[in-house]
């Protein structure tokens, strides 16, 4: 008897999701707890595993469909034989292959008669297509590692990382010769409409809601990173050897923020109705770039954690964001946010608060600049800091004070050790 696969509970107040990608197709073998489908919710992507080992039967929803919690989306035949093992499955497999070949031939014919777009671009899965659009890459320049050379999401992310680091896509194909670059001479312009993912829709609503509901203001300062860079250089090897994690900049800024929020509690509070909710703890939301958008997992009780645990939490969040395995609980709560646009090369920005929080710290790239110290012009590694805040709750004096405390702690890290 076929085992039904239903949409699991997706988190508090989340009642539905969207089919992002089918990881298994009818006739494919599946093991117990092996993911068969990826669902997108407002905040995270969730993989639904098979409760039994067997063969995938019928898929009852298509990519892009919205499905409610508890809805049946597929069936699994327990103990069945995967296609390719035995005469009947082999015949089914052959029929599927023939169907694929027929569709491929039709696709090739259609492409030849249209604008000359490659079949590789047309065969992208939804998740790969979103990743390509998100990172602004040309899929024809990326070598696929999947079956039959198909592109995978990992291929796209690797190419994006290589492009970001300035190395360029190492898997890029040779540039076409002028004689083969015919489509560019036709003068045709194309458009493509892609439905926003649920996560992107939620991000858009929350950011716009923050602008509509809060009185946003940003204050700036700059910070000399010499002391932190020196400390990292001096202790990074010992730190990594003892804690099995690299000593990064975010640990310093997280601890500096905890110091400031203790002295300026309004920056660690939020408005709820006609009341102000203050916290005697610091849960720092760290903005992390994921394939489908920006997510903000939370470092809980950051004020009670040391540098090593904060760095481990951040590294764990980054890896899980890339893999799409962050959960709703990882992003629940948060009293203050740190967003590091510097990793992408940003010089300065005005970050938007993460509701219902009232403040967010924006970090930017480090660059050598000429500054005046003790009457002399010297070169120092400088970074611009930006603190955006809800002016309904936080006065300008409090915001400037909080940012100044962070600046002083970064320029003199000893302050973080003696709680000054």
Residues acting as catalytic residues:
391, 395
In a 3-state reduction of DSSP, which class is residue 269?
coil
Lookup: tokens for 243: 């804690």
Lookup: tokens for 313: 């939490």
Region class of 306: left (phi > 0), else alpha (psi between -120 and 50), else beta:
beta
Rounded distance, CA 291 to CA 42, Å? Answer: 14
Alpha helices, DSSP H only, in 188-245? 198-213, 226-243
> How many Cβ atoms from other residues are within 10 Å of residue 402's Cβ?
27
The string of DSSP codes covering 230-255 is HHHHHHHHHHHHHHSS---HHHHHHH
Are the C-beta atoms of residues 165 and 343 closer than 8 Å to each other?
no
Rounded distance, CA 35 to CA 72, Å? Answer: 15
In a 3-state reduction of DSSP, which class is residue 141?
helix
CA dihedral 395→400→402→404, nearest 10 degrees, is -170
Q: Look at the block and give the residue holding tokens 């089914």.
A: 92
Rounded distance, CA 77 to CA 50, Å? Answer: 11
């Amino acid at each position: 008897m076929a085992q039904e696969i239903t949409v699991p509970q997706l988190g508090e107040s989340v009642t539905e999701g969207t089919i992002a990608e089918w990881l298994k197709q009818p006739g494919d073998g599946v093991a117990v707890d092996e993911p068969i489908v990826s669902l997108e919710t407002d905040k995270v992507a969730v993989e639904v595993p098979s409760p039994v080992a067997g063969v995938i039967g019928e898929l009852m929803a298509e990519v892009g469909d919205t499905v409610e919690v508890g809805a049946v989306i597929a069936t699994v035949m327990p103990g069945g034989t995967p296609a390719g093992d035995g005469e009947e499955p082999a015949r089914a497999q052959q029929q599927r292959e023939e169907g694929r070949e027929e569709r491929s031939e039709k696709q090739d014919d259609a492409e030849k008669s249209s604008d000359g777009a490659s079949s590789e671009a047309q065969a992208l899965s939804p998740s790969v297509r979103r990743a390509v659009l998100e990172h602004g890459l040309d899929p024809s320049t990326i070598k696929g590692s999947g079956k039959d050379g198909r592109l995978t999401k990992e291929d796209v992310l690797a190419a994006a990382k290589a492009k970001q680091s300035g190395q360029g896509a190492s898997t890029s194909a040779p540039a076409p010769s002028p004689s083969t670059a015919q489509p560019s001479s036709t003068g045709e312009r194309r458009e493509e409409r892609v439905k926003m993912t649920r996560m992107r829709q939620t991000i858009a609503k929350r950011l716009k809601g923050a602008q509509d509901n809060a009185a946003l203001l940003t204050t700036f300062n700059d910070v000399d990173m010499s002391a932190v860079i020196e400390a990292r250089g001096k202790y990074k090897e010992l730190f990594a050897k003892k804690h099995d994690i690299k000593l990064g900049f975010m640990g310093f800024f997280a601890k500096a923020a905890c110091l400031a929020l203790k002295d300026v509690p309004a920056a660690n509070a939020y408005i709820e109705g006609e009341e102000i909710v203050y916290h005697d703890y610091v849960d720092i939301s760290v903005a992390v770039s994921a394939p489908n958008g920006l997510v903000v997992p939370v470092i809980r009780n950051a004020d009670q954690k040391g540098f090593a645990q904060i760095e481990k939490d951040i590294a764990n969040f980054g890896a899980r964001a890339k893999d799409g395995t962050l959960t709703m609980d990882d992003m629940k709560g948060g009293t203050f946010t740190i967003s590091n646009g510097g990793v992408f090369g940003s010089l300065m920005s005005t970050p938007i608060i993460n509701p219902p929080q009232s403040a967010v710290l924006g970090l930017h790239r480090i660059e050598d600049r000429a500054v005046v110290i003790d009457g002399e012009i010297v070169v120092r590694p400088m970074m611009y800091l930006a603190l955006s805040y809800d002016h309904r709750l936080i006065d300008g004096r409090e915001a400037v004070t909080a940012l100044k405390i962070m600046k002083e702690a970064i320029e003199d890290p000893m302050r973080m050790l003696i709680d000054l």
